[in-house]
Amino acid sequence: MTERRIRVLIAKPGLDGHDRGAKVVARALRDAGMEVIYTGLRQTPEMIAEAALQEDVDVVGLSILSGAHMALVPRVLELLKQNGQEHVRVFVGGIIPDEDVPRLLEMGVYAVYGPGTLTDDIVGDIRKAVLGAETAGA
Amino acid sequence: MSIAEDVLAGRRYALSRVLTWIENDTAEGQEALRALFPHTGRAHLIGVTGAPGTGKSSLVNRMAYYYRHPPEGEPRRVAVVAVDPSSPFTGGAILGDRIRMRDLAGDSGVFIRSMASRGALGGLARTTAGVVQALDAAGFDLIFIETVGAGQAEVDIARLAHTTLVVEAPGLGDDVQAIKAGILEIADILVVNKADRPGAMATLRALTEMLKLAHPSQETIMHHGQRMTAAAGVRKADAPLWVPPVVKTVALNNEGMDDLAAAIARHRAHLEATGEWQVRDRVRLQTELENMLQEALMQHWRSRVPEGTYRRILEAVFTRRLAPADAVAQLLAADAPRPKNLPT
Ligand code: B12
Ligand SMILES: Nc1nc2c(ncn2[C@@H]2O[C@H](COP(=O)(O)OP(=O)(O)OP(=O)(O)O)[C@@H](O)[C@H]2O)c(=O)[nH]1
Ligand SMILES: [Mg+2]
């Protein structure tokens, strides 16, 4: 019996203590049937990449409200690539100024979300990103 | 190079991929397990169970760190498998045990894997044993297995692990009742964590009292009600009994880890001296084999009996014309006497 579940790592990089958004998103993904590894606050990019590798996740979700995204996100992307996980989709949410969004996408981030995003939209986008590449499923 | 060889060579991402395949029970996963199997049987499997919030993950974090930085001797390689419950409604899960395992980050001698229970009720996922086998083959010396922690006797873990830690904490209300409900029977070591909290001494005393009561019947309950046929002749007849020690810890402040490590070492020595190590190994393998055999036989048999025959006999049971025992006899007779495509 084969069972495929989307696995997502939700992490809060840096010193940012705003964790409501990360928790809201984690719960929404669980309720959508995904397996969410939640690592808690104050994660370094190294810790995030290591967890992504050990947990073999399909998606890494970074929640950043501190303004440090332009330093943290590229580092996470670089480490994922170093570990052979360039196929892992990286989603970013939090307080991201409009002008930074295209730059993040260019670096290889799959999508960026700000305050007020409906979690249903996030669920749909993750499903599309992961299962779209495969043959489909639940 | 096959992926199993990559795992044996210590490639971490290969290991991680294999764990996913095993967890999803894919053909690649079965293939990898087949190749890894000869390399299993070396790790010390340590189960960690107990009610939610007693500090299992915090304790595993400290213990793993202890074995990575031992006061004497060589560091040991440590893997952790942490199981959390899946939602029965959506199948989703939040796996949060890593939150407490920060001290292990950045250490290539440690591998932590979170698993969702995926509907299994015994405290582990159906594929946890396979995941543990792969980690064993990958060369980890100690493998900690944290269960869901339903608070009831979680028999699966006692069957899988060599050493089972049952973690209690003071102030969990009717914890003494929960202990009575069978958790003592699976404990090789009882841990009273959160010993910094009020009521720790009372919990410690209550547990020690219960152990005294349980001690006389220890021998009969020690083996988790498993059939021991495979093990006959391995265990020494006059083997000393193991009386589970009660160890006090404060995972929060890293207190009591040396006592706990000493208790684990004593238990291991006991298992080896009495032949119980081998008994548990054999029981585990026999259980695994019989489960697989059961599934395979059932499938094989179903493919040989016409669906119509099966339905007809089932219907006779539904309408109370045929007793289930007679139905079984008829169904077995409906199969050809000699299955021809079974390997000889
Ligand atoms: C609540 C709040 C706090 C609470 C946090 C409580 C907590 N535990 O989370 C408290 C009071 C502690 C706090 C403190 C501070 N805060 Co504050 N805080 C807010 C506030 C008002 C709301 C944040 C929130 O919880 N929103 C609700 C959640 C559900 O929304 P969300 O996080 O945006 O998440 C949504 C999306 O962004 C997205 N998303 C988020 N993460 C992710 C991840 C993934 C993978 C995906 C797919 C999507 C996604 O989906 C979510 C659902 O829609 C914001 C202002 C605002 N309107 O955003 C300021 C704000 C974030 N805070 C701010 C500041 C400056 C601070 C402080 C530094 C203030 C100070 N001087 O002390 C401290 C720092 C605290 C710290 N240690 O980091 C600034 C940040 C400025 C910046 N980045 O440039 C903001 C923007 C206020 C402002 N306008 O200045 N804060
Ligand atoms: N006071 C005190 N708190 C502790 C101790 N050990 C752990 N905790 C706290 O207890 C809470 C639960 O700890 P965990 O390690 O997550 O417990 P757990 O048994 O793994 O929990 P689940 O996996 O959810 O069942 C956390 O807030 C810990 O910080 C301790 O020795 N003393
Ligand atoms: Mg835990």
For every residue of A2-60, DSSP letters joined together read -----EEEEE-BTT----HHHHHHHHHHHHTT-EEEE--S-B-HHHHHHHHHHHT-SEE
Report the number of distinct structural domains present in chain B. Answer: 1
- Domain for residue B288, yes or no? no
Q: What is the pLDDT of residues A80-104, one digit of tens each?
A: 999 999 999 999 999 999 999 999 9
Q: A34-66 in b/e burial notation, b at 16+ Cβ within 10 A?
A: bbbbbbbbebbbebbbbbbbbbbbbbbbbbbbb
Q: What is the pLDDT of residues B252-305, one digit of tens each?
A: 999 999 999 999 999 999 999 999 999 999 988 998 899 889 988 988 888 888
Enumerate the H helices of chain B as residue ranges.
3-8, 12-23, 27-36, 56-68, 128-137, 155-160, 175-178, 184-186, 200-214, 218-221, 257-274, 276-302, 307-318, 324-334
- Domain for residue B232, yes or no? yes
Helix A45-55 vs helix B12-23: angle between axes, to the nearest 10 degrees?
50
What would the two tokens of residue A6 be? 């989307």
Residue B104: predicted pLDDT: 96
B87 contacts chain A (CB < 8 A): yes
Contact B79, B113 (CB under 8 A): yes
Contact B62, B103 (CB under 8 A): yes
Contact A123, A28 (CB under 8 A): yes
Mean pLDDT value of segment A111-127: 97
Instruction: Among A4, A10, A35, A88, pick the best mutation site for testing chain B contact (most B Cβ within 10 A).
Output: A35
Residue B139: predicted pLDDT: 98
Partner residue facing B111 (CB), from A2, A54, A85: A54
CB atoms within 10 A of CB B153: 22
- Domain for residue B247, yes or no? yes
Name the closest-CA residue to atom 66, ligand 1: A66
Chain A neighbors of B90, CB-CB under 8 A: 30-33
CB spacing of A54 vs B20 below 8 angstroms: no
- Structural domain for B215, as ranges: 40-277
Q: What is the pLDDT of residues B149-164, one digit of tens each?
A: 865 557 789 889 999 9
B173 dihedral zone (left: phi>0; alpha: psi -120 to 50; beta)? left
Contact B158, B47 (CB under 8 A): yes
For residue B52 and ligand 2, the question of a CB distance below 6 A is answered with: yes
How many angstroms separate the CA atoms of B285 and B21, rounded?
Answer: 21
Residues contacting residue A29 through CB under 8 Å, at least 6 positions apart = A6, A8, A10, A36, A122, A123, A126, B92
pTM of this prediction? Answer: 0.91
- Domain for residue B171, yes or no? yes
Name the residue ranges covered by the structural domains of chain A: 7-132
A67 dihedral zone (left: phi>0; alpha: psi -120 to 50; beta)? left
| Residues measured by CB to lie within 5 Å of ligand 3, the ion | B 56-57, 97
Percent of chain A residues topping a pLDDT of 70: 93
Q: CB-hemisphere CA count at 13 Å for B265?
A: 9
Chain A neighbors of B16, CB-CB under 8 A: 53-56
Cα–Cα distance list, B62 to B48, B57, B237, B248, B253 (Å): 13, 9, 37, 14, 9
Q: B212-243 in b/e burial notation, b at 16+ Cβ within 10 A?
A: eebeeeeeeebbbebeeebbeebeeeeeeebe
CATH of the domain at B124: 3.40.50.300
Look at residue B251 and give its three-state secondary structure: helix
Place of tokens 């032949």: B275
The CA angle B74-B79-B81, to the nearest 5 degrees, is 155
> Does residue A16 have a pLDDT over 80?
yes
Partner residue facing A37 (CB), from B13, B25, B95: B95
CB spacing of B24 vs A33 below 8 angstroms: no
Q: CB-hemisphere CA count at 13 Å for B236?
A: 11
Distance of CA B191 from the midpoint of ligand 3 (Å): 15
Chain A neighbors of B28, CB-CB under 8 A: none
Q: Mean pLDDT across chain A, nearest whole number? A: 94
Contact A44, A24 (CB under 8 A): no
Cα–Cα distance list, B290 to A123, B47, B137, B308, B313 (Å): 41, 22, 22, 29, 27
Intervals of chain B under pLDDT 70: 150-153, 172-182, 214-239, 336-344
CB atoms within 10 A of CB B109: 15
B112 burial level (CB within 10 Å; 0-12, 13-18, 19+): buried
How many angstroms separate the CA atoms of B111 and A50, rounded?
Answer: 9
CB spacing of A5 vs B19 below 8 angstroms: no
Name the residue among B199, B202, B222, B198 with its Cα closest to residue B210: B202
Residue B219: predicted pLDDT: 42
Side chain identity at residue B101, one-letter code: M
Percent of chain A residues topping a pLDDT of 90: 91
Look at residue B197 and give its three-state secondary structure: coil
- Domain for residue B21, yes or no? no
Q: Flag whether the ipTM exceeds 0.90.
A: yes
Chain A neighbors of B12, CB-CB under 8 A: 53-54
Name the residue among A56, A132, A27 with its Cα closest to residue B23: A56
- Domain for residue B173, yes or no? yes
Side chain identity at residue B111, one-letter code: F
User: Domain A7-132 is classified in which CATH homologous superfamily?
Assistant: Cobalamin-binding domain (3.40.50.280)
